[in-house]
């Protein structure tokens, strides 16, 4: 039987380790804009190196659906970053790891695991043949990719079929810090662009929170279903999604809150308007949260997503206001990973929050379901 423990509970030395990290970092103009997902893996990497282990780093990077995607989603940019800290070697083919047997290096970064999804999906289909191949090069599997553990892939889960499996320091930190939110949250604030992939998360979080503030693009669909104008803004069209939104509104009308202030693009102008002043051709880009009392009264708050297209300086007023309100509330504010965490760092507000997760979708799934798909798979196998 394959065992699974925290790496911190063991003293593993002189082994070959496959270490699954989440190096799927944001890149702009060929530069990494937020390296925190990389640096948060250093504790596990350093522990393993200090115990004289050889480390084989696996990670995905971006979406790879065809050969062209490979050119823009190579992990070489992460390799160049890691070279500042470690003497490592790059393995340019995830289906040819023989270089590891011929090298004297102690640490290797393997090219994007999702390169194996072309021409036929293997990594993202949890191909056990692929997991078995990778396992031939190691003695132990360590998972430290919290941000990817909501997916059952060969490199996040399948390897546990063949190797004794441990959870790294980052995963342990995430599970420990997020545990207080599993049973109850006073206030959840959900933003982001599309509601389609958030429905199940919203349904799960509504079961454990007192109030849910909806903001950003996902609010548009809710507003439209309540009979308000949303102009030409992005809204869901899938009938199953719309039915779910209607049911959520019907069953939770006293829990769901939203702002009455918006910035809309009207022609060439950006205007601040109330909900009743939105016109047929407006596009909503920003939501100026005006729910100070609710935020101040909540002792435990979870935030995920932003109030509109705040990567554009013209439309980040709502997100700026929201983050400052949360930072000044004096309450325990937990922040979901991904873009939300990046904007907190952009505004230099990290120290004002209780915990900032490295996750994203994984954080949402964990808080909503109380578990993660890859973690469940590993436990069962």
- pLDDT value of position 4: 64
274-320: pLDDT as tens digits: 999 999 999 999 999 889 999 999 999 999 999 988 878 888 889 99
CB atoms within 10 A of CB 243: 12
Coil/strand/helix, residue 8: helix
Domain boundaries of the chain, sorted by first residue:
4-175, 182-367
- Region 245-260: mean pLDDT is 96
Q: Which CATH number is associated with domain 4-175?
A: 3.40.50.1260
Segment 215-228 mean pLDDT: 95
> What pLDDT score was predicted for residue 314?
82
Does 182-367 match 4-175 at the fold level? yes
Q: How confident is the model at residue 47 (pLDDT cuts 50, 70, 90)?
A: very high
pTM across the whole model: 0.90
Query: How far apart are alpha carbons 336 and 206 in whole angstroms?
Result: 16
Q: With 50 as the cut, is the pLDDT of residue 1 above it?
A: no
- Asked if 319 and 307 count as a contact pair (C-beta separation under 8 A), the reply is yes
Nearest to 143, CA basis, from 32, 2, 250: 2
Query: Does 203 have pLDDT greater than 80?
Result: yes
pLDDT at 180: 93
Q: Bigger pLDDT: 316 or 18?
A: 18
What is the rounded CA–CA span in Å between residue 187 and residue 295? Answer: 7
Give pLDDT tens digits for 49-96. 999 999 999 999 999 999 999 999 999 999 999 999 999 999 999 999
Across the chain, mean pLDDT equals 94
How far apart CA 349 and CA 340 sit, in angstroms, is 12
For the domain bounded by 182-367, which CATH number is listed?
A: 3.40.50.1260
**Low-confidence winner among 37-41, 186-190, 284-288, 314-318 (lowest mean pLDDT):** 314-318
Cα diameter, the chain: 69
pLDDT at 2 over 70: no
* Spatial distance between the Cα atoms of 184 and 293, rounded to a whole number of angstroms: 20
Report how far residue 199's alpha carbon sits from residue 246's, in angstroms, rounded to the nearest whole number: 11
């Amino acid at each position: 039987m394959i065992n699974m423990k925290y790496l911190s509970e063991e003293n593993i030395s002189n082994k070959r380790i496959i270490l699954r990290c989440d190096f799927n970092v944001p890149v702009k103009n060929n530069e990494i804009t937020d390296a925190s997902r990389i640096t948060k893996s250093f504790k596990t990497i350093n522990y393993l190196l200090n115990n004289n282990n050889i480390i084989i780093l696996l990670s995905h990077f971006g979406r790879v659906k065809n050969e062209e995607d490979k050119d823009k989603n190579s992990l070489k940019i992460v390799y160049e970053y890691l070279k500042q800290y470690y003497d490592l070697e790059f393995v340019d083919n995830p289906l040819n790891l023989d270089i590891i047997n011929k090298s004297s290096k102690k640490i290797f970064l393997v090219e994007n695991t999702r390169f194996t999804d072309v021409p036929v999906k293997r990594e993202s289909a949890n191909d056990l043949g692929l997991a078995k191949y990778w396992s031939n090069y190691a003695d132990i599997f360590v998972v430290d990719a919290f941000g990817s553990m909501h997916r059952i892939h060969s490199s996040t889960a399948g390897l546990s079929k063949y190797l004794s499996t441990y959870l790294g320091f980052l995963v342990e930190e995430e599970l420990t810090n997020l545990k207080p939110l599993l049973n109850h949250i006073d206030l959840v604030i959900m933003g982001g662009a599309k509601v389609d992939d958030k429905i199940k998360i919203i349904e799960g979080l509504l079961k454990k929170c007192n109030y849910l503030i909806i903001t950003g693009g996902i609010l548009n669909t809710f507003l439209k279903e309540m009979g308000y104008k949303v102009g030409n803004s992005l809204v869901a069209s899938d009938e199953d999604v719309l039915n779910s939104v209607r049911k959520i509104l019907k069953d939770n009308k006293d829990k769901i809150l939203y702002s009455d202030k918006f910035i809309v693009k009207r022609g060439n102008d950006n205007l601040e308007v109330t909900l009743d002043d939105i016109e047929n051709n407006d596009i909503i880009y920003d939501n100026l949260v005006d729910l100070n009392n609710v935020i101040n009264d909540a002792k435990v708050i979870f935030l995920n997503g932003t109030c509109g297209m705040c990567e554009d300086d013209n439309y980040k007023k709502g997100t700026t206001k929201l983050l400052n309100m949360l930072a000044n509330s004096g309450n325990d504010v937990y922040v979901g990973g991904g873009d939300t965490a990046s904007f907190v760092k952009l505004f230099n507000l990290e120290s004002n929050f209780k915990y900032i997760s490295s996750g994203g979708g994984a954080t949402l799934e964990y808080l909503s379901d109380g578990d993660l798909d890859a973690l469940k798979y590993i436990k069962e196998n």
